[in-house]
Amino acid sequence: MKYADEFRDKTIAQGLARTIAAEIDPQRPYRFMEFCGGHTHAISRYGLEDMLPPNVRMIHGPGCPVCVLPAGRIDMAIRLAERPEIILCVYGDLMRVPGSQGNSLLRAKARGADVRMVYSTMDAIRIAEETPAREVVFFAIGFETTTPPTAVMIRLAEKKRLTNFSVFCNHVLTPSAMHNILESPDIRNIGRVEIDGFVGPAHVSTIIGTQPYEYFAEEFGKPVVISGFEPLDMMQSILMLVRQVNEGRHEVENQYSRAVTREGNLRAKEEVSDIFELRDRFEWRGLGLVPYSGLKLKQVYAQFDAEVRFAMNELRVADNPACECGAILRGVKKPVDCKLFGTVCTPETPMGSCMVSSEGACAAHWTYGRFRDHQLRRAS
Amino acid sequence: MRAKAYQRKLDLKDGCVDLSHGSGGRAMAQLISGLFHEAFGNEWLARGNDQSAFDVGAGRMVMSTDAYVVSPLFFPGGNIGSLAVHGTVNDVAMAGARPLYLSASFIVEEGFRFSDLKAIADSMGEAARAAGVYIITGDTKVVERGKADGLFISTTGVGILPDGLDLSAEKAEAGDRVLLSGSLGDHGIAIMSKRRNLAFTTEILSDSAALHDLVAKMVEAGGSGIRLMRDPTRGGLAAALNEIAHQSGLGFRLQEEAIPVKPGVAAACELLGLDPLHVANEGKLVAIVAPEVADAVLAAMKAHPLGLEAADIGEAVADDHQFVQMSTSFGGGRIVDWLSGEQLPRIC
Amino acid sequence: MCLAIPAEVTELLPDDMAVVSIDGVAKEISVALIEDLAVGDYVIMHVGYALTKIDPVEARRTLELLQQLSGEGRELQS
């Protein structure tokens, strides 16, 4: 696979590991938060943590939009799907996210709700065209990478004059989440958790560009390196962060220059700003209500807004009190610190969102990294 | 000679199955003889009894059963019929047994086209002949529209075990080698390429095939040094090895670089967010063998048309947690776990 | 949502669509978000859309830099 295989070369990886090892200061920790589910997954899948020196620690941030979707929004989607006239179209990852009382879209489907898994927004349009007598609702989630496809889809629905189509919008914004993490009391507390730098998201950045991160580097004094998510990209980005920390710099650097520019994708940004506007606040699983962090459709597109069209009530559901997703999403705790991890909460029976999505910190750790806990226990 | 009663011929081109074909009457008899017996053609079926008798050789017998509900029914590289024959032949073969006879039971949805049913039955006949097995008994039921998604097939197979062969997970020991007969993921990807909502095109064909001859050559080469064999169907290699780990009480350590995956399969998996280790195979096997016979068995596999890409992919180790671990192409480590839930294409 | 992969554009279609291919696996996707696309270009694709073109010059530069950084480790340690 071109532009993929070359960035997975083992020999270069080993060389980079040596370079990182040679440049770190063994007397200090390097704690880097990666903010993109794709990065979390790449780290696990390639076993990258094994290639880093022990004092370089990767903290998994809330980069997975499935993970941060609150249970209440899932319940709302289930309610929609249970209406006989509605066909709910969802991305595969959403099927098993737990709502309240262990309910999920997969379970609702088994009980008879018309929930259809789609790979692309285009599929939802096609279904709406093929079943004019039914109402088709697309369950939209994702950060800035996925928002432009939803915008294009709404444009197309408008162009085709579809009268049976709408979107349940749960799009969220990366910079707001990063801000929330950095502002959270845990972070400000000296000694509680420190983040020395950020690995910036890959494909969110192709859309928004590197410019929005300049504020963080400036305001919080933390280096940000925008990274591709092939393993060599990540290792190079970690090296770039190590160098910034060593040199006392806090800049925005772009490792993923083959796909990311400072301005991003202007056409995509225009499509999004035509159709969406900011919500005052939006709930994130584990982070609570975050101001200016979510999008909704502009009033002029109300006919495509499922929340308006179906007069949906906002449902808010408390998370399981023992579930540590919130702390884990902020990097304050690790999966093994959660009492439910591996016992009540497993990929088969997920309690919280960190376990449902294969990019959630808990699922990634369970699926790929569990064996290290036992090794550590034996060593201590 | 008595005149045969007049019966309109089955309209194999345009006709469909209806409820009368399942009711036990003339229509059903005509369907069975005109379509199934024609396709499977053997002396047992020609007798027209509900059951068939066969001689039993000395030794132990193996029996296995499976149901096939694959969708779509016709896919690149095969159909539900050939799959049903290969699948059950393989289940019997994984015990090291020579498969002999199959039964085949059909649950057909009202409205199913005869032409499709004939194509499927013909495939089964061909697959059975190629594998040297006979389909000697069967059953047909027809259910109302909407109650069977086209067609479900269930097959049971019996076979005979060579003397002294007793393959079982408990026989596996730390230090045993893990041998894989070929590339992973072909069948699952071929199926998925035909699922409407995924819409990608590929040249990948299902690897559905009968493995008993390959097994026979492996047994010749390795004898009782072969601990057990398994075909990694649903859940892929990950499920098969995790099952074996739990049954044997051992762990496994694999080398990712040694595991063959076709580039088209790897690309489709990337596209869909799937791990090839979790994708179904229908013409592959994994064998746990004693280290002293590993080279000989691997050579026998590579010499066989169904084992050309065979590889030694790792070893069994002592492990209280029965983890299946893999050393990635990078040298880092990761676990290969069971798949959770149904394999849904990952977007993210 | 970050699962996105590089793919080669093999055919341009009407209505802002295109066929892309990765190692013989072909798929129709939307290119509504891309300007000035040509057959032979590589794009990053995600949930059925092309998000951006891959810049081959930058890709080469990154690979060269990776080679160089990878070699530095050896030098520093010796």
Which amino acid would we find at residue A346?
T
Mind telling me how many Å the CA of B268 is from chain C's nearest CA?
Answer: 6
Provide the pLDDT for residue A260: 97
Provide the pLDDT for residue C7: 94
Of the candidates A14, A106, A119, the beta carbon closest to that of B331 is on: A14
Greatest mean pLDDT among A357-361, B31-35, B70-74, B122-126 lies in B122-126
pLDDT digits (tens, 9 = 90+) for A296-332: 999 999 999 999 999 999 988 877 778 887 778 777 7
Provide the pLDDT for residue A44: 83
| Cα B186 off chain centre by | 13
Domain ranges of chain C: 5-77
How is residue A263 written in tokens?
């301005």
Instruction: Spell out which residues of chain B touch residue C26, defining contact as CB-CB under 8 Å.
Output: 200-202
Reported residue count of chain C is 78
3-state secondary structure of A115: strand
Q: Which stretch of A263-267, B182-186, B323-327 has the lowest confidence by average pLDDT?
A: B323-327
Mind telling me how many Å the CA of B265 is from chain C's nearest CA?
Answer: 8
Chain A (261-320) residues lying within 8 Å, Cβ to Cβ, of chain C: 265, 267-268, 271
Instruction: Spell out which residues of chain C touch residue A145, defining contact as CB-CB under 8 Å.
Output: 1-2, 4, 46, 51
Provide the pLDDT for residue B346: 43
Q: Number of A to C CB contacts under 8 A, please give it.
A: 154
Higher confidence at residue B285 or residue B51?
B285
Mean pLDDT of all residues belonging to chain A: 88
Structure confidence at residue B197 as a pLDDT band (50, 70, 90) = low
- Which residues face B177 on adjacent strands? B289, B315
Higher confidence at residue A265 or residue B13?
A265
CA distance B19 to B31: 12
How is residue A326 written in tokens?
């919130």
Chain B: residue nearest C27 by CA?
B200
pLDDT digits (tens, 9 = 90+) for B285-310: 999 999 999 999 999 999 999 999 99
Provide the pLDDT for residue A189: 47
Provide the pLDDT for residue B347: 43
Domain ranges of chain A: 5-65+175-254, 71-174+264-309
Which amino acid would we find at residue A178?
M
DSSP string, B267-333: HHHHHHT--GGGS--SS--EEEE-HHHHHHHHHHHHTSGGGTT-EEEEEEEE-TT--EEEE-TTS-E
Mind telling me how many Å the CA of C41 is from chain A's nearest CA?
Answer: 12
Structure confidence at residue B29 as a pLDDT band (50, 70, 90) = confident
pLDDT of A74 > 90? The answer is yes
Question: Which subunits have 3 or more CB–CB pairs within 8 Å of chain A?
Answer: B, C
3-state secondary structure of A339: coil
CB of B290 within 8 A of CB of B179? no
Crossing angle of the two packed helices A147-159 and A266-275, in degrees rounded to 10? 60
Mind telling me how many Å the CA of A66 is from chain B's nearest CA?
Answer: 9
Task: Give burial (CB, 10 Å; 0-12/13-18/19+) of A117.
Answer: buried
Structure confidence at residue A76 as a pLDDT band (50, 70, 90) = very high
Query: Looking at the complex, does the CB of residue A91 fall below 8 Å from at least one CB of chain C?
Result: yes
Provide the pLDDT for residue B6: 66
Element (H, E) at A18: helix A10-23
Instruction: Spell out which residues of chain B touch residue A96, defining contact as CB-CB under 8 Å.
Output: 340-341, 344
pLDDT digits (tens, 9 = 90+) for B73-88: 999 999 999 999 999 9
Report the greatest alpha carbon distance in chain C.
58
Of the candidates A3, A23, A37, the beta carbon closest to that of C42 is on: A3
pLDDT of A370 > 60? The answer is yes
Chain B: residue nearest C46 by CA?
B347
pLDDT of B273 > 50? The answer is yes
pLDDT digits (tens, 9 = 90+) for B153-184: 999 999 999 888 899 999 999 999 999 999 99
Contact C23 B266 (CB under 8 A): yes
Of the candidates C2, C5, C47, the beta carbon closest to that of B270 is on: C5
Of the candidates B267, B273, B347, the beta carbon closest to that of C23 is on: B267
Mind telling me how many Å the CA of A374 is from chain C's nearest CA?
Answer: 30
Element (H, E) at C27: strand C25-30
pLDDT of A190 > 50? The answer is no
Q: Number of B to C CB contacts under 8 A, please give it.
A: 38
Contact C26 B200 (CB under 8 A): yes
Of the candidates C59, C67, C69, the beta carbon closest to that of A3 is on: C59
pLDDT digits (tens, 9 = 90+) for C40-61: 999 999 888 999 999 999 999 9
Helices (runs of H) and strands (runs of E) counted in chain B: 10, 14
Which CATH number describes the domain made up of C5-77? 2.30.30.140
C-alpha dihedral sign at B273, B178, B280, A353: negative
Mean local confidence (pLDDT), C8-26:
94
Using alpha carbons, select from A86, A88, A93, A87 the residue that is nearest to residue A69.
A93
Instruction: Spell out which residues of chain C touch residue B271, defining contact as CB-CB under 8 Å.
Output: 5, 22, 25, 27
How is residue A20 written in tokens?
């990182």
Provide the pLDDT for residue B305: 97
Instruction: Spell out which residues of chain C touch residue A3, defining contact as CB-CB under 8 Å.
Output: 6, 42, 54, 59
Pick the CATH number of A71-174+264-309 from 3.40.50.11740, 3.50.50.60, 3.40.50.620, 3.40.50.720: 3.40.50.11740
3-state secondary structure of B338: coil
Local structure of residue B32 (DSSP, 8 states): I
Crossing angle of the two packed helices B114-131 and B80-93, in degrees rounded to 10? 30
Contact C22 B267 (CB under 8 A): yes
CA distance A254 to A208: 13
Domains A5-65+175-254 and A71-174+264-309 share a fold: yes
pLDDT of A379 > 80? The answer is no
pLDDT of C1 > 70? The answer is no
Contact A119 B334 (CB under 8 A): no
Q: Which of C25, C28, C44, C70 to mutate to test the interface with B (most CBs of B within 10 A)?
A: C25
Query: Looking at the complex, does the CB of residue A190 fall below 8 Å from at least one CB of chain C?
Result: no
Percentage of chain B exceeding pLDDT 90: 67
CA distance B284 to B306: 8
Using alpha carbons, select from B298, B274, B304 the residue that is nearest to residue B286.
B298
How is residue B140 written in tokens?
């047909």
Mean local confidence (pLDDT), C6-11:
96
Contact A152 C23 (CB under 8 A): no
CB of C22 within 8 A of CB of B270? yes
Provide the pLDDT for residue A41: 82
Q: Which stretch of A124-133, A273-282, B32-41 has the lowest confidence by average pLDDT?
A: B32-41
Chain B: residue nearest A41 by CA?
B348
pLDDT of C75 > 90? The answer is no
Class of domain A5-65+175-254: alpha beta
Instruction: Spell out which residues of chain C touch residue B345, defining contact as CB-CB under 8 Å.
Output: none
pLDDT of B1 > 90? The answer is no
Of the candidates A4, A16, A123, the beta carbon closest to that of C73 is on: A16
Mind telling me how many Å the CA of A316 is from chain C's nearest CA?
Answer: 23
Provide the pLDDT for residue A130: 96
pLDDT digits (tens, 9 = 90+) for B115-136: 999 999 999 999 999 999 999 9
pLDDT digits (tens, 9 = 90+) for A126-178: 999 999 999 999 999 989 999 999 999 999 999 999 999 999 999 999 888 77
Give Cα separations from A377 to B248, B306, B333 (angstroms).
Answer: 24, 44, 17
3-state secondary structure of B192: helix
Chain C (10-69) residues lying within 8 Å, Cβ to Cβ, of chain A: 22-23, 29-30, 32-35, 42, 44, 46-49, 51-52, 54-56, 58-59, 61-63, 65-67, 69
Provide the pLDDT for residue B339: 74
Mean local confidence (pLDDT), B234-243:
95
Provide the pLDDT for residue C69: 93
Structure confidence at residue A92 as a pLDDT band (50, 70, 90) = confident
Sorted by where each starts, the structural domains of chain B and their CATH numbers stand as: 19-160 (3.30.1330.10), 169-335 (3.90.650.10)
pLDDT digits (tens, 9 = 90+) for B326-337: 998 877 788 898
Q: Which residues contact residue C30 at a Cβ distance below 8 angstroms, ignoring those fewer than 6 apart? A: A120, A122, A149, A152, C16, C17, C18, C48, C49, C50
Cis peptide leading into residue B72 (ω within 30°)? yes
Contact A47 B323 (CB under 8 A): no
Instruction: Spell out which residues of chain B touch residue C8, defining contact as CB-CB under 8 Å.
Output: none
Q: Which of A5, A6, A11, A19 to mutate to test the interface with C (most CBs of C within 10 A)?
A: A19
pLDDT of A191 > 50? The answer is no
Of the candidates A149, A232, A257, the beta carbon closest to that of C66 is on: A232
Of the candidates B199, B267, B348, the beta carbon closest to that of C24 is on: B267
Mean local confidence (pLDDT), A336-363:
83
Provide the pLDDT for residue B195: 79
Provide the pLDDT for residue A275: 97
H helical segments located in A47-93: 71-81
